[in-house]
């Protein structure tokens, strides 16, 4: 299978690309024209430079069976200034729009587009159980996700099956949120965030890759899918289990006011918000989680 991929050098893209290569698939990495392609030499797949503004692929996408869209600037780098918010939007919404435009110009189109999204779609919802048909929230991340998904869904009119992967917090030793969360615990100064009562929807990188592989191989998945473990936990439990996995104490809570002072709007959206997401669609598909239990997942990921 020939698979086009954006965001192929990120945490998720790298892991998925390597898994696809092991499965004998041909991964075509779509890289921006200003990307140092030489630095990517030796990695899996091959590179095609493309313009994420116009979507121009110069014919390289012809014959592709599937597209995986994982592009997007990191949401945790720097305070959310107006400029940073625009970058977050452009790198997701505009890039997805350009990608779908490129697909529309193909004579032979891929059968599936998997496009990234996030459980931030739902906003902060307290103890409410959030399934794929739950309404969106109204904060910045919610609105960003709404626009992001809307651009991907335009591929449906082209006859392409669209899967919207709403990721929770992805746990991986190689990068993402976990090394940052673990750092204060390793130093002996970790603890719950804010009240600790906010729900955290998490998933291991191993399950993310397996779920995306299933979506590529199985013709049934369509629309939004909560890519999260079936066992979300409150932040207080998460931090306690993280401390235990690292054999460190969890004695120093991070007050909400201090986080807001340091991070502004980002603190409420990423650290203090509560999303109790349920993988209802994955349950219908009988997906067998590799890592459904957080304590076991943290130990296996951090060791």
Domain count, the chain: 1
- Residue 37 within any structural domain of the chain: yes
- What pLDDT, on a 0 to 100 scale, did the predictor assign at position 42? 45
Note down the domain range covering 151.
2-170+203-229+277-290
- Residue 143 within any structural domain of the chain: yes
- Residue 116 within any structural domain of the chain: yes
- Residue 78 within any structural domain of the chain: yes
- Residue 161 within any structural domain of the chain: yes
- What pLDDT, on a 0 to 100 scale, did the predictor assign at position 41? 45
- What pLDDT, on a 0 to 100 scale, did the predictor assign at position 53? 77
Kindly report the CATH number assigned to the domain that includes residue 51: 3.40.50.720
User: How many Å apart are CA 31 and CA 76, to the nearest integer?
Assistant: 22
Query: b/e map of 16-46 (b: 16 or more CB within 10 Å)?
Result: bbebbeeeebebbbbbeeeeeeeebeebbbe
- What pLDDT, on a 0 to 100 scale, did the predictor assign at position 50? 82
pTM value? 0.93
- Residue 163 within any structural domain of the chain: yes
Q: How many CA atoms lie within 13 A of 178 on its CB side?
A: 27
pLDDT (tens place) for every residue of the chain, 303 residues total: 999 999 998 999 999 999 999 999 999 999 876 665 554 544 555 787 787 777 777 667 778 999 999 999 998 877 899 999 999 999 999 999 999 999 998 889 999 999 999 999 999 999 999 999 999 999 999 999 999 999 999 999 999 999 999 999 999 999 989 998 999 999 999 999 999 999 999 999 999 999 999 999 998 899 999 999 999 999 999 999 999 999 999 989 998 988 888 888 888 888 999 999 999 999 999 999 999 999 999 999 997
Among candidate residues 250, 252, 247, the one with its CA nearest the CA of residue 299: 247
Per DSSP, helices labelled H in the chain are 11-22, 82-89, 95-104, 140-153, 177-186, 205-217, 235-246, 256-263, 265-266, 280-284, 294-302
- Residue 126 within any structural domain of the chain: yes
- Residue 137 within any structural domain of the chain: yes
Please tell me whether residue 264 adopts helix, strand or coil conformation: coil
């Amino acid at each position: 299978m020939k698979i086009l991929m954006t965001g192929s050098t990120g945490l998720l893209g790298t892991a998925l690309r390597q898994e696809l290569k092991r499965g004998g698939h041909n991964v075509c990495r779509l890289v921006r024209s200003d990307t140092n392609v030489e630095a990517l030499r030796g990695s899996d797949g091959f590179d095609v430079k493309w313009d994420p503004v116009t979507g121009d692929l110069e014919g390289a996408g012809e014959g592709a069976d599937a597209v995986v869209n994982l592009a997007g600037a990191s949401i945790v780098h720097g305070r959310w200034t107006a400029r940073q918010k625009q970058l977050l939007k452009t790198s997701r919404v505009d890039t997805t729009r350009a990608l779908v435009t490129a697909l529309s110009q193909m004579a032979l189109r891929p059968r599936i587009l998997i496009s990234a999204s996030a459980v931030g779609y739902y906003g902060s919802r307290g103890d409410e159980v959030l399934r794929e048909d739950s309404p969106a929230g109204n904060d910045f991340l919610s609105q960003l996700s709404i626009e992001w998904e809307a651009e991907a869904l335009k591929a449906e009119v082209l006859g392409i099956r669209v899967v919207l992967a709403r990721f929770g917090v992805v746990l991986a030793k190689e990068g993402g949120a976990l090394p940052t969360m673990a750092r204060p615990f390793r130093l002996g100064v970790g603890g719950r965030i804010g009240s600790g009562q906010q729900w955290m929807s998490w998933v291991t990188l191993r399950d993310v890759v397996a779920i995306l592989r299933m979506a590529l191989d199985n013709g049934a998945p369509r629309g939004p899918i909560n890519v999260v473990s079936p066992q979300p936990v409150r932040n207080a439990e998460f931090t306690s289990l993280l401390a235990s996995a690292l054999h460190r104490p969890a004695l120093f809570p991070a007050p909400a006011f201090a986080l807001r002072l340091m991070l502004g709007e980002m603190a409420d959206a990423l650290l203090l918000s509560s999303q109790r997401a349920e993988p209802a669609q994955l349950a219908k598909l009988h997906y067998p989680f590799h890592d459904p239990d957080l304590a076991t997942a943290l130990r296996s990921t951090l060791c």
